[in-house]
Amino acid sequence: MSLHIPTLLIVAVFVFCLMGLLTVHAWSRGREPTLGYLGIMLLLASLGTGLIVVRGVGVDFVALILGNVVLLLSAAMNWTAMRAFVQRKPSLPGIFAGCGVWLLMCLLPQFYASLSARVTLYSLLAASYGVLSALELWRNRATLEVAYAPALVLTLLHTAFYSIRALTDPGLPMKNAQASGGEGVPFFSFMLFESMLYAIGIAYVTLAMVKERAELRFKAAAFSDALTGAGNRRAFMLKGEKLLADCNRHQRSAALLLCDLDHFKRVNDSFGHPMGDQVLIAFSQVTRATLRSGDVFARIGGEEFACLLVDSDAAGAFEVAERIRRGFAELDLLTPGFLSVSIGIVTTTAAGHDLSHLLSQADQALYQAKAHGRNRVQVMTKMPTQVVTHSTGHTNAS
C-alpha cells in the first residue's frame, strides 16, 4: 500500500488538534489541571507537526528549529499533566530543559547538518520525558486509588518506541517523503500512526482516571461529615454492619460507644455557633486519636457520635471511653466545666450483633448516664433494664 507522507502529516495535525480541543473543553467544565496540561500537549503536538509540513518549501529553518522545540514542549506538557495528576506542581526548569538542550545543540554546525544526529537527540529527549511521565505514575501508585495501569503501559510503549528510534532511525529526508516508496518512509509512517494512537489513547485513559478520581471524591464526601471529617450516619451503618457481620462469623466480640456532648446548646448560646463547630471538631480529633485504625467512628447526629470497637469487651470499651471523656474534658477551648461528654456502652456479648439493636441498647445506657449527672460512662449489662454505672468523678447538674 502506498503511503503519502504529507497526507499523513496533515491527518496527524487534525487528529492532534481535535483531541486537544476536546481535552481543553473537558478541562473547561471542571478546571482539572491534568486535563488542561494534556490539552496544551495535544495542541502543541498539532502545531509542531504542522511546522514539519512546511519543510521543503523554503522554510526548513522554522521546521527544524521551531518545529522540534514545539514538539519537545508538547512532550514536556505530557510529563506535566502526569505531575498535576499526582498532585505535584509543574517544574518550569524541567519543561524547558528539553527544548533548551535542542536549541544549544542546533548552534553547532556539525549537529545541525546531520539528520541522523538530530533524530537521535530528539528521540532521546522525547523518551526522557516519557520516562519522567511513567515515573510520576509509578512512584505515586500507592496513593492514586485509580486504574493507572493503562496510562502507565501506554506511556512506556511510547517511550520504548522513541528509545528504539534513537538507535535505529537515520531520519527521513524530504525528497524521500514525497515518494511513496522512498527509503525511510515505512518507519516514518509507523511513527505518525504511533503518535496518533498514543494521543488518542492517553487522552482517553487520562480522562478516565480524572473521572474515576472525581467519583471517588464524591463518594467519600457522601460518606463523611463535612465539618468534622468523621464518617456520617450512612457510613457508620454500612461499615458497622459489615464489621459486625465479620465479628459474628469469626466469633469475635465488639463494643458500641454512643457519645453525646453535654449541654451543647449552652455552648452555642454562650459562645456562638462557630465555637460550637470548633468543639465538635475538637471532640472528633480527641476520639480519632484514641481509637484504633480498625474501629469505626462517625458523627451520627448533631452532637452525637458513635464508635464501634472490634475485639473489645466491656472492660476494654470502658477504658477507651474513659480516655475519650477525660481527653475531651481537659481541652482548654472553653472555661473548665463547659466541655464534657456522656457515653453509653453496649457489647455484642450483651446485646448480639445486630447494629440497630446495639444502638438502641447503647442509647438506653446513654440516657442513664445523662440521668445520673452527665460527664460519665455507663455500660449496659445483659439485661436490657439494668445498667452498670461506672462513676467518673466530675459530674454536671442535670
- Determine the Cα–Cα distance for residues 299 and 230; give it in Å rounded to an integer: 6
Contact 225, 232 (CB under 8 A): yes
Q: Does residue 59 register a pLDDT over 70?
A: no
Pairing of strands 341-347, 387-390: unpaired
Q: Does the predicted TM-score (pTM) go above 0.75?
A: no
Q: How far, in Å, CA of 219 to CA of 99, rounded?
A: 42
- The per-residue pLDDT for 57 is 58
Mean local confidence (pLDDT), 135-139: 95
**Residue of higher predicted confidence among 11 and 337:** 11
Q: How far apart are CA 240 and CA 46, in angstroms?
A: 53
Q: Is the pLDDT of residue 254 over 70?
A: yes
Assign 340 a pLDDT band (cuts: 50, 70, 90).
very high
Cα–Cα distances in angstroms (integers) from residue 343 to residues 318, 322, 367, 374, 391, in the given order? 9, 9, 9, 9, 11
Q: CB neighbours of 16 closer than 8 A, spacing ≥ 6?
A: 42, 43, 45, 46, 49, 196, 199
- Of 100-104, 184-188, 267-271, the poorest mean pLDDT is in 184-188
